[in-house]
Amino acid sequence: MIGIVDYGMGNLLSVRHALEMVGAEVTLCREGDDLRQVERIVLPGVGAFRDCMMNLKNNGLIEALEEAVLRLGKPILGICLGMQAMARRSFEGGEHSGLGWLEADVVRLQPGEPSLRVPQIGWNEIRYRTGSPFFETLPPSPDFYFVHSYFVKCDDQAIIEATCDYGGPVTAAVRKGNIFATQFHPEKSQDYGLKVLEHFLSWKP
């Protein structure tokens, strides 16, 4: 059973639909107790970092996520804002603390090319780490769908699973222990996105 964290900021329907397309049995997790019933977790998110963290806290989900992910080691997939929430802090609209699972900051995109707009909206090719369990069956430079103004800047380059170029290098995916997260939206990335979700279902960290 896959649990999608429902804290009022995710594009839940498209994430759920995509997971079901690759054979997952899906439930929504709105309370901490819900996370105890699932084997894998998806943390989606659309919107502002500060609101994301406040909603997770107000719904009593932070402690439950820490229990499931950090102590029990359940595999988790963060998507877009869900990925950013895993960093220690974000500079979106001031400085705000995150979950602190990744030694990383969330910083604004600053493309080196004036023609590139922020947010980045649309398809972009990624470059992924050789042997990645999430991309190894895909072509060398698959394209995925992005919608974001900020990205996760990692202290430890070893956890970066994939990057894209948007007037400079941008973290597209990270993997650390039982944590996998993408800045792009696999649920909106057609066949390649579905393949990433399929790999997450069979991933054994």
pLDDT digits (tens, 9 = 90+) for 135-169: 989 999 999 999 999 999 999 999 999 999 999 99
82-127 pLDDT, tens per residue?
Answer: 999 999 999 999 999 999 999 999 999 999 998 999 999 999 999 9
- The model carries a pTM of 0.96
Burial of 13 per CB tally in 10 Å (0-12, 13-18, 19+): exposed
Q: What separation in angstroms does the CA of 61 have from each of 28, 52, 67, 70, 98?
A: 13, 11, 10, 13, 13
33-65 pLDDT, tens per residue?
Answer: 999 999 999 999 999 999 999 999 999 999 999
CB 197 within 8 A of CB 148: no
Q: Residue 98, Cβ neighbours under 10 Å: how many?
A: 21
pLDDT given at position 11: 82
Q: Residue 186, Cβ neighbours under 10 Å: how many?
A: 28
Q: Give me the long-range contacts of 85-91 (CB less than 8 A, separation at least 24).
A: 85/43, 85/45, 85/49, 85/52, 85/53, 85/56, 86/43, 86/152, 86/179, 86/181, 87/152, 90/49, 90/50, 90/150, 91/150
Catalytic positions, written as ranges: 80, 185, 187
Strand residues in 30-109 grouped as ranges (E): 40-43, 76-79, 87-90, 96-97, 102-108
Give 168's DSSP letter: S
Helix (H, G, I), strand (E, B) or coil at 27: strand
